[in-house]
Amino acid sequence: MIEVEAKIKIQNPKEFRKLVNQLGKLVEKEEKIDDYYTLQKNKSYPRKSLRIRKKNGIHEINFKERISYKNGIHAKNEQEFQVTDINNFLALIADFGFKKWLTKIKHSEIYELKNNFHIEINHVKSLGWFLEIEYLTEKNKIEKARKEIQEIIKKLSIEKNQIIREGYTKMLWDKSGK
């Protein structure tokens, strides 16, 4: 699937909860603990990594490939699968040379607008509150997804300069001073 997404730093989650509740239905609250691994050996921010997410006792492996960034909206090819034996998976990737480089803890409130289209109100430990507008789609429908996300941005009265280009890992990396 292709993840088409805009990320917005917010100051007042209560205000956005009211607005988002008018657009969609709260379907889930969850804690996501993400460990990131890379093959990169130097101390700079990694160009590529994989994520191991632990939520509800399940381990999901995820990696993304950037496709494009237009008008504040990312499109990324996303691969994801579950692993039932995390210890053997960690031993395997260690054997290939992967090293853990970052952990992210995110508490999410997920509001569904329609199938594969949702808004998350997230609190990311050490970074604060964010709003994510995400549409999962096929590659030939990226522009349609971007238009629908832009409509939601307008409905929420979000200004273009409020949209953040950087991902959480880059923000955490920069904050850590590494």
* Residue scoring higher pLDDT (76 or 43): 76
| pLDDT higher than 70, residue 54 | yes
Per-residue pLDDT band for 57 (boundaries 50, 70, 90) equals confident
72-130 pLDDT, tens digit per residue, is: 999 999 999 999 999 999 999 999 999 999 999 999 999 999 999 999 999 999 999 99
The number of domains in the chain is 1
Mean per-residue pLDDT over the chain, rounded: 95
Q: What's 130's DSSP letter?
A: E
Single out the residue of 169, 175, 171 nearest to residue 38, CA to CA. 169
pLDDT of residue 47: 87
pLDDT at 98: 96
Q: What number is the average pLDDT over the span 59-74?
A: 95
Q: What is the CATH number of the domain that holds 146?
A: 2.40.320.10
Per the listing, tokens 């995390």 go with 86
**Minimum mean pLDDT range among 6-10, 41-45, 115-119, 130-134:** 41-45
**Residue 15, SS3?**
helix
Q: Residue 86 is part of which domain span?
A: 2-176
The predicted structure's pLDDT at residue 177: 72
Report field, pTM of the whole predicted structure over 0.85: yes
Question: Is-contact 132 5, C-beta < 8 A?
Answer: yes
- Is the pLDDT at 161 greater than 90, yes or no? no
Distance CA 124, CA 31 (A): 10
CB-CB contact of 76 with 62 (8 Å): no
Q: What is the mean pLDDT of residues 137-151?
A: 96
